[in-house]
C-alpha cells in the first residue's frame, strides 16, 4: 500500500480579510507565550472543511473531485463571532454555519470520504472528550468535526498555558469582521506544518 497522507481541505478568506485576521492573531500572540499563531508566514487563517487521511494513490482523485465541487459554489461571506476559548489554550472565533457553508462542507465530505479507504488522521482530541454525535460521525467519516459535528471556526492563537487564554479573554472583547471566503485549498499535514498541494477558486 502507498504512503498514508494526512490531508486538510480548508476554506480560505480573500486577501484583504486575511490580513485583518492575521493582525488579530499577532495582537493576541503579543500578549502571551504562544506556540501557534496565524502570522501570515507559517500559518494562515482558514476554516477547516475536512480533515482526512487517504492513500497516496488517491491524491489525484481527491484533487479532481475538489476541482469539480468548487464549480457548484459561489464565494461565501460569513460573520465571525466574538473570540472564545477553545481547548488546550486555543483562542478561536466561531463562524456562522450558513446553509451555503454547510452545503459546501457536506458535499466535500461525502465525495472524499470513500477515497479514505478506511484510513483516519491523527487527532489530539481524546474520545472521552467527544459527544456521542461527534463519536458517531468520527466512526463514519474519520474525523469528529464533520456533518452533525461540524463546528466551523477560525483559530487565532494557541498559548503554551491554557490558563492564559481564559484570563486574557476576560480583558478583551473583540468582534472579528465579516469575512469573504473565496478559495478552497488542499494541503498535506506533515512534520507539524501544512504544505499546499492545490488551490481551487469558488465562483
End-to-end CA distance of the chain: 37
- Which grid coordinates are listed for 154? 477560525
Query: Which tens digits make up the pLDDT trace of 124-152?
Result: 677 777 788 888 888 899 888 899 889 99
Q: Give the C-alpha separation, 8 to 15, whole Å.
A: 20
Lookup: cell for 147 = 456533518
Q: Closest Cα partner for 153 from 48, 50, 25, 21? A: 48
pLDDT value at 20 more than 90 = no
Q: Are the beta carbons of 83 and 163 closer than 8 angstroms?
A: no
pLDDT at 162 over 80: no
| Closest among 6, 7, 43 to 22, alpha carbons compared | 43
* Stretch 88-104: mean pLDDT: 91
Bridge partners (DSSP) listed for residue 199: 185
Classify residue 2 by its DSSP letter: P
For residue 126, the tally of other CB atoms under 10 A from its CB is 7
pLDDT digits 0-9 by tens, 21-53: 898 888 888 888 888 888 888 888 999 999 999
pLDDT higher than threshold 90 for residue 64 = yes
Q: What is the mean pLDDT of the chain?
A: 88
Q: For residue 174, what pLDDT is reported?
A: 64
CATH class entry, domain 4-201:
alpha beta
Please check the confidence at residue 80 and state whether its pLDDT lies above 60.
yes
Residue 173 burial (C-beta neighbours within 10 Å; 0-12, 13-18, 19+): exposed
Answer whether residue 13 shows pLDDT above 50.
yes
In Å, how far from its chain's centre is CA 170?
25
Q: What is the mean pLDDT of residues 106-127?
A: 88
| Number of residues in the chain | 203
Give the span between the Cα atoms of 114 and 122, in whole angstroms.
18
Cα–Cα distance, 195 to 189 (Å, whole number):
7
Please compute Rg for the chain using Cα positions: 17
Amino acid at each position: 500500500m502507498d504512503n498514508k497522507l494526512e490531508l486538510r481541505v480548508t476554506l480560505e478568506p480573500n486577501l484583504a480579510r486575511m490580513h485583518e485576521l492575521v493582525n488579530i492573531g499577532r495582537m493576541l500572540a503579543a500578549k502571551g507565550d504562544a506556540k501557534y499563531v496565524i502570522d501570515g508566514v507559517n500559518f494562515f487563517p482558514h476554516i477547516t472543511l475536512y480533515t482526512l487521511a487517504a492513500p497516496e494513490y488517491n491524491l489525484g482523485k481527491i484533487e479532481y473531485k475538489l476541482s469539480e465541487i468548487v464549480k457548484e459554489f459561489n464565494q461565501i461571506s460569513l460573520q465571525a463571532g466574538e473570540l472564545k476559548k477553545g481547548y488546550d489554550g486555543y483562542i478561536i472565533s466561531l463562524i456562522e454555519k450558513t446553509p451555503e457553508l454547510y452545503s459546501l462542507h457536506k458535499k466535500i465530505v461525502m465525495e472524499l470520504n470513500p477515497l479514505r479507504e478506511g484510513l483516519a488522521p491523527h487527532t489530539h482530541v481524546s474520545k472521552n472528550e467527544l459527544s456521542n454525535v461527534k463519536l458517531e460521525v468520527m466512526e463514519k467519516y474519520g474525523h469528529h468535526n464533520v456533518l452533525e459535528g461540524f463546528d466551523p471556526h477560525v483559530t487565532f492563537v494557541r498559548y503554551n498555558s491554557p490558563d492564559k487564554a481564559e484570563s486574557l479573554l476576560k480583558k478583551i472583547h473583540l468582534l472579528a469582521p465579516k469575512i469573504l471566503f473565496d478559495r478552497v485549498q488542499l494541503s498535506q499535514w506533515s512534520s507539524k506544518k501544512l504544505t499546499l498541494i492545490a488551490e481551487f477558486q469558488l465562483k
